[in-house]
Structure 1
Amino acid sequence: MATESATTTTEVSTETGNWKAGVAAGLVGSAAFGLVMTFVIPAPLLEVVIPSMYGLAPPAAPGLGWIVHLSHGAVIGVGFAALVGARPTLAATVENAVGLGAAYGLLVWAVLAVIVMPIWLSAVGSPANPPLPNVSVLSAVGHLLYGVVLGVVYAAIPN
Structure 2
Amino acid sequence: MATETATTDVVSTESGNWKAGVAGGLAGSAVFGLLMTYMIRAPLLEVVIPSMYGLAPPAAPFTGWVIHMAHGAVLGVGFAALVGLAPSLGGSVGRSVGAGAVYGIAVWVALAVIVMPIWLSAVGSPANPPLPNVSAMSAVGHLAYGAVLGGAYAGLSG
Superposed displacement of residue 12, structure 1: 3.7
Q: Which amino acid aligns with 1:139?
A: S
Instruction: Identify the residue that residue 4 of structure 2 maps to in structure 1.
Output: none
Structure 1: how far apart are the matches of 2:147 and 2:103?
9
1:34 correspondence with 2:33: yes
Instruction: Identify the residue that residue 84 of structure 1 maps to in structure 2.
Output: 83
TM-score, scaled relative to structure 1: 0.92
Q: Which amino acid aligns with 1:140?
A: A
Superposed displacement of residue 9, structure 1: 8.1
What do residues 84-103 of structure 1 show as CA deviations (whole Å, max 9, x unaligned)? 00010111010000100000
Q: Which amino acid aligns with 1:16?
A: S
Instruction: Identify the residue that residue 139 of structure 2 maps to in structure 1.
Output: 140
SS in 2 for 1:157: helix
Give me the CA root mean square deviation. 1.3
Instruction: Identify the residue that residue 119 of structure 2 maps to in structure 1.
Output: 120
Kept in 1: contact 2:15–2:85 (CA 8 A): yes
Q: Which amino acid aligns with 1:46?
A: L
Kept in 1: contact 2:17–2:157 (CA 8 A): no
Please give the residue correspondences for 1:5-154 in structure 2 after superposition, counting only pairs within 5 Å: 12-154=11-153
Unpaired segments ≥5 residues, structure 1: 1-7
Q: Which amino acid aligns with 1:41?
A: I
Number of equivalenced pairs: 152
TM-score, scaled relative to structure 2: 0.93
SS in 2 for 1:111: helix
Superposed displacement of residue 10, structure 1: 6.3
Q: Which amino acid aligns with 2:25?
A: G
Structure 2: how far apart are the matches of 1:81 and 1:58?
34
What do residues 97-119 of structure 1 show as CA deviations (whole Å, max 9, x unaligned)? 01000000000000000000000
